Amino acid sequence: MFDTIQNFRYVWDTLDIVLVAFIIYYALTMIEGTRALQVLLGLVLLFVLFYLSQRGLFTLNWILGQFLGSIILIVVILFQHDIRRGLAAIGRRPFLFKISSGKTKESFVEEIVKASSYLANRQIGALIAIERNNSLADFIEIGMRIDAQLSRELAISIFNPSSPLHDGGIIIVGDRIASAGSFFPLVTDPDLERELGTRHRAAIGLSAETDAVIVVVSEETGTISLAFAGEITRGLDATSLNNALLDVLGIKRPKSTAAPTPKKEESEQANT
């Protein structure tokens, strides 16, 4: 009987450790790439300094002890936005399981390409940021939260000049538009071409700080550009934009949409 109880005790202890480890891992993934991670590292350094100060730095030890004595309250204040975002994510996805929306990655890229082409043909400016590994939560907080399924119609309506959100950029997380009207950091490189406007500089600035992919449509010229890793590629059409997005996002190109498609369109235009 005692051995049976002990065996169950080991099971509960193991489950306890696994759950705590999972919660810590999930919390770290939530703040990965955000300023909250830097704050967390700062707190860790304070704890290390508090431990070292116990060897003789009495005044510093007392100050840090008073500060860290209210660590739970400090954590809640410092990470209130991240805690709220994490709880909301758990509420949307109970048990942390992602529910598939039924859209393939190829159709997700297709929606962006078609929206960009429509806006470019009408010389309507646009700024579309696609989150990858680094979280864009800080920039989502700046804009207007939407959390809606990505569609070309919704993207086009957001960037309509009569829309109050058309001046900022939209942020896409997964296959959903997380926010609109978000503002990104402007690059200050003096070597950039002077003809690059605010949208292009914001796209380069965001791509330099994160690993996001940003699509830019120029309001002046109607050209499409793609910013990634601090570099910008300009003068893209629908086909080249689609291929560039598939490559950068690591999506395999479907065999049915290989290169012959644009050639066929060109031949039809030549015949007409």
Query: Under a CB-based contact definition with an 8 Å cutoff, are residues 36 and 82 in contact?
Result: yes
Q: Please give the average per-residue pLDDT across 102-120, as a whole number.
A: 82
C-alpha 141 chain-centroid distance? 12
Q: What is the pLDDT of residue 4?
A: 61
Helix (H, G, I), strand (E, B) or coil at 80: helix
In the chain, CATH 3.40.1700.10 sits at 105-254
Q: What is the pLDDT of residue 263?
A: 41
Of 2-16, 64-78, 173-187, give the lowest mean pLDDT range.
2-16
Q: Residue 148 phi/psi, 5° resolution?
A: -125, 155
What six digits make up the tokens of 30?
Answer: 């939530």
How far apart CA 81 and CA 244 sit, in angstroms, is 34
User: In sequence order, what are the beta bridge partners of 88?
Assistant: none
User: In sequence order, what are the beta bridge partners of 144?
Assistant: 180
- 105-254: CATH superfamily: DNA integrity scanning protein, DisA, N-terminal domain (3.40.1700.10)
How far apart CA 78 and CA 38 sit, in angstroms, is 11
| Strand pairing report for 126-130 and 169-173 | parallel
**Any alpha helices (H) in the chain, and if so which ranges?**
2-31, 35-53, 58-68, 71-78, 80-92, 105-121, 137-142, 152-158, 198-209, 238-248, 260-271
Q: Is the pLDDT score of 50 beyond 50? A: yes
| pLDDT tier at 94, thresholds 50, 70, 90 | low
Q: What is the pLDDT of residue 32?
A: 65
Residue 25 neighbours by CB distance under 10 Å: 10
Q: Please give the average per-residue pLDDT across 148-161, as a whole number.
A: 91
Query: What predicted TM-score, i.e. pTM, was given to this entire model?
Result: 0.61
Residue 115, judged by CB atoms within 10 A of its CB (0-12, 13-18, 19+), counts as: buried
Q: Is the pLDDT score of 112 beyond 80? A: yes
Q: Please give the average per-residue pLDDT across 152-160, as a whole number.
A: 92
Q: Residue 261 phi/psi, 5° resolution?
A: -55, -55
Q: Is the pLDDT score of 169 beyond 60? A: yes
Q: What is the pLDDT of residue 1?
A: 54
Q: What is the pLDDT of residue 251?
A: 80
Q: Is the pLDDT score of 79 beyond 80? A: no
Q: Is the pLDDT score of 261 beyond 50? A: no
- Is the torsion defined by CA of 218, 220, 223, 228 positive or negative? negative
Q: Please give the average per-residue pLDDT across 253-257, as a whole number.
A: 57
43 or 100: whose pLDDT is higher? 43
Q: What is the pLDDT of residue 13?
A: 82
Q: Which amino acid is at 250?
A: G
Q: Is the pLDDT score of 181 beyond 70? A: yes
**Which tens digits make up the pLDDT trace of 113-128?**
999 999 999 999 999 9
Q: Residue 69 phi/psi, 5° resolution?
A: -65, -25
**Which tens digits make up the pLDDT trace of 182-218?**
999 888 776 777 778 888 899 999 988 888 999 999 9
How far apart CA 235 and CA 175 sit, in angstroms, is 25
How far apart CA 49 and CA 46 sit, in angstroms, is 5
Query: Under a CB-based contact definition with an 8 Å cutoff, are residues 232 and 244 in contact?
Result: no
Q: Is the pLDDT score of 271 beyond 60? A: no
User: In sequence order, what are the beta bridge partners of 217?
Assistant: 126, 224
Q: Please give the average per-residue pLDDT across 16-25, as a whole number.
A: 85
Quote the mean pLDDT of the chain: 79
Q: Which amino acid is at 177?
A: I
